Homo-oligomer: A and B are copies of this chain.
């Protein structure tokens, strides 16, 4: 890491609370602008300490309203909050497919909240990486808690797994009957289940079913997932939801699971960065290097299959020393 002399001014500005510098750097991250990299890297030592709370669940369960309510609660306690909403977007509209989605209430006069929406267009995996960097920027900017809200989908789940210290899965009562059909994998990533819209009929049953299911096992850290009920219209259950989240955060600290999780996430990040680098490198060589061009010719000519070609490249060129 560079010394103080090399510390980018934007990084310093972000740490001093300059919201415009923060917003500009986030935009640079989102656009894949290489100018963002030294800023995020310089701020890396200031990260890895706060709760990063993932909120995921199907469309229409009210995640955005819930996030609003949580932000209200935390602001009332004097905590500052950063929030990232990852939207599935269509390359056709250039925008979000969730046009009618309830947006986080802008609190323009409140410097203690920072909300950013990120579109998940572009390369698979790219959103997860960008979201992680933005979450780091928010932590470095001094927010006490960061939320990452996504619609449950393959790509978004990856984003959550690579970032969140506590994962909340939000459901609604009428999903209660179908709870048994939920994929087991989902349960493993949920530290807290929230039955939102719990003023609707069936909420109690849904919560009971979820509790039963949650009791059938633990998360990979041996945490027993909590089940809570909330309503943002009544409103009710918001403090209980936050208490379930902080209970999990305390568990992480008390058991050493926080460091273990951080290790897992960082190992995945490093492997991803190395993988991408090797991928770019070999793509370039397949075009320029005579020997590799010949190998590619053989694959195009159906003399060698792509599996064998990759094996050969690995064995002769890219296997670890």
Contact = CB atoms under 8 A, between A and B. Distances in A.
Given A305-B41, A306-B266, A313-B270, A123 B1 contact: no
Given A37-B307, A296-B266, A300-B266, A94 B181 contact: yes
A239 B263 CA distance: 58
Interface residues on A, range: 35 or more
Given A296-B263, A310-B274, A90 B153 contact: yes
Interface string A93-121: 11001000000000000000000000011
A310 B123 CA distance: 20
A90 B123 contact: no
Interface in A194-233: none
A302 to B, nearest CB: 4
Contact of A44 (B126, B157, B283, B305): B305
A283 B307 contact: no
Interface stretch (A13-21, A69-77, A182-190): A182-190
A113 B302 CA distance: 26
Contact of A274 (B120, B157, B181, B279): B279
A316 B305 contact: no
Contact of A153 (B91, B308, B320): B91
A263 B120 CA distance: 29
A277 B310 CA distance: 9
B270 A275 contact: no
A302 B90 contact: no
Given A262-B300, A274-B279, A275-B279, A157 B305 contact: no
B275 A275 contact: yes
